[in-house]
Amino acid sequence: MMQKLSWLALAGAKGTLARYGLTGLVHKINGMSFPWGTVVVNIAGCLLAGLFWSLFENRWAVSSETRTIVIAGFMGAFTTFSAMVLETSELFRLTEWLHAVANLTIQNGLGLFALYIGLTVGRLS
């Protein structure tokens, strides 16, 4: 178990550094007037999540531990947006339309609302 957690932590550290590096590079090229770094990271994360998922399902015989390390470790640290999109696309694939739309609405709507509440509570402190 400790070895799995160590690999997961290492993959998470690499995902964090990749996110930081890519965001910084994009901001250096495009400036900071719009959050292009985050946009690029989230879209790249979705591309990579789809690619890894497909390869793990169809081409590469990897253990469940390896999937966890790559998807939850690296990709989870790189962007959680990709996980939300991956889960929503699976709901659409299963024709769970209401659940798919609810997932998008809840995560985006409540995420913004929770951010507002957090900002408000932080200002009151």
79 is in an annotated binding site: yes
41 is written with which tokens?
Answer: 């990271």
Integer Cα distance of 5 and 3 in angstroms: 5
Integer Cα distance of 47 and 106 in angstroms: 23
Integer Cα distance of 15 and 32 in angstroms: 22
CB 84, CB 25: distance < 8 Å: no
37 is in an annotated binding site: no
Residues annotated within the binding site are: 76, 79
Residues annotated within the binding site for Na(+) are: 76, 79
